[in-house]
Amino acid sequence: MPCKGQESKWIEKEQIRYKRILKQADKIRCIYDKYVDGCMKERNQYMINNSSLFIALFNGQWGGTKQTIEYAKSQGVEVIINPVDKI
């Protein structure tokens, strides 16, 4: 997680889904106690630095997912991209 409470401004349905996913996790690493600039990017780099495979749902647009794909490739992490029109 980039920060505690990242889901606080999401719609209720997505908050419930997010919390359900977290409950299923074997381990959760939270980068910051609250939102700070750059925490999302730092979270993404942490995930890549601790992975051998990165599976991305990607709509082809520039943003955090695209940056993370590029970072993973630059670090020699295997990347599998599943294209999506809408998540």
Tokens of 23: 């409950």
Q: Do residue 45 and residue 82 come from a single domain?
A: yes
Q: Do residue 29 and residue 9 come from a single domain?
A: yes
Range of the domain at 68: 40-87
Q: How confident is the model at residue 85 (pLDDT cuts 50, 70, 90)?
A: confident
Closest to 77 in 3D by CA, of 49, 40, 41:
49
Please identify which residue in the block is written with the tokens 């992490």: 77
Q: Do residue 27 and residue 68 come from a single domain?
A: no
pLDDT at residue 84, as a whole number:
87
Tokens of 72: 């993973």
- Give, in order, the Cα–Cα distances in Å from 41 to each of 11, 12, 35, 45: 23, 25, 12, 6
Rounded CA-CA distance 64/61 in Å is 9
Inform me whether the pLDDT recorded for 87 exceeds 60.
Answer: no
Q: Do residue 68 and residue 50 come from a single domain?
A: yes
Q: Do residue 28 and residue 59 come from a single domain?
A: no
- Write out pLDDT tens, residues 23-63: 999 999 999 999 999 999 999 999 999 999 999 999 999 99
Inform me whether the pLDDT recorded for 86 exceeds 80.
Answer: no
If one counts the domains in the chain, the total is 2
Q: How confident is the model at residue 66 (pLDDT cuts 50, 70, 90)?
A: very high
Q: Do residue 50 and residue 74 come from a single domain?
A: yes
Q: Do residue 5 and residue 31 come from a single domain?
A: yes
